Amino acid sequence: MLPKRYTFSGVLFFILCEIAIPSYSQLGVSFDIKKPEQYDDRVLGSEKSDKKKFTLSRRLTQNTFTHYNYFFNANNKLNEIIEQAKSQHRDDYTELLSFYNYSLDVTAGNKIQLDSVIYKSTTGIVLHDLRSDWVDNMYLLMGAAYYLRKQFDSAYLTFQFINYAFADKEKDGYYKNIGSNMDGNNAFSISTKEKKSLPRRVFTEPPSRNDAF
């Protein structure tokens, strides 16, 4: 679902970019998500998000663990499911061709693997600080997995949550007016502005909120 653009040789430069480039933290994100059973008796990283300062070292640690321990694996698994479905797809030119070159009936049959993506995404969120730069990406993977399972209501609610929770905020924490010029600009855009610097385009994902639309 998301592009594979990570190479082992780029990891060090990516980490340096994380340190050097100023960017936003996902402040004010709350969630109502069930803990995995083995963590029921533990206070997890997500529950301590408002109790610890989000220092540079903490941000680097949280981003690295969430990205490479959870997002990377879940994203690869999701891509494998889609590639499998594509390999089984055959166009029938006697009927209206499908928009995508794979069938949701095929992906939905891969329930165990999709459950694994949802589990990894959920675990990646609840175990780590909610101000991590990868929380929105984990939610997007979760929503995509629900969609590929043909659980459209769950997918819709997840994408709606991303659109709300990760919308641009003012410095005082209030959400900006979406799709209007009330904030003093002339843009009537509902999307989140993407960072266009070269390091960000190469080594980070665009805002998942835009994909969730």
pLDDT value for 58:
86
Amino acid type, 58: R
Could you tell me if residue 13 is inside a domain?
Answer: no
pLDDT value for 166:
85
Buried b (16+ CB within 10 A) or exposed e, 79-111: eebbebbeeeeeeeeeeeeeeeebeeebbebbe
Which of 197, 195, 169, 173 has the alpha carbon at shortest distance from 183? 169
**Distance in angstroms between the alpha carbons of the first and the last residue of the chain:** 14
Whole-angstrom CA distances from 42 to 26, 36, 51, 65, 130 are 23, 11, 16, 19, 16
pLDDT value for 153:
97
Could you tell me if residue 78 is inside a domain?
Answer: yes
3-class state of residue 169 by DSSP: strand
Per-residue pLDDT at 41 exceeds 50: yes
3-class state of residue 11 by DSSP: helix
Could you tell me if residue 29 is inside a domain?
Answer: no
Could you tell me if residue 75 is inside a domain?
Answer: yes
Contact 76, 113 (CB under 8 A): no
pLDDT value for 108:
96
Cα gap 2→36, rounded to integer Å? 25
Residues spanned by the domain of 143: 70-88+101-168
What is the tally of structural domains in the chain? 1
Could you tell me if residue 30 is inside a domain?
Answer: no
Average pLDDT, integer, range 168-185: 55
Could you tell me if residue 54 is inside a domain?
Answer: no
Could you tell me if residue 194 is inside a domain?
Answer: no
Query: Which range is least confidently modeled, 23-27, 67-71, 163-167?
Result: 23-27
What does the radius of gyration of the chain's CA atoms come to, in whole angstroms?
A: 18
Token code pair at residue 145 = 């997995």
Report field, pTM of the whole predicted structure over 0.85: no
What would the pLDDT profile of 85-96 be if each residue is shown by its tens digit?
Answer: 999 999 889 989
Confidence of residue 73 (pLDDT cuts 50, 70, 90): very high
pLDDT value for 186:
52
Could you tell me if residue 207 is inside a domain?
Answer: no
pLDDT value for 129:
85
Confidence of residue 175 (pLDDT cuts 50, 70, 90): low
Enumerate residues 6+ apart whose C-beta is below 8 A from 45: 62, 126, 127, 128, 129
Per-residue pLDDT at 180 exceeds 60: no
Confidence of residue 148 (pLDDT cuts 50, 70, 90): very high
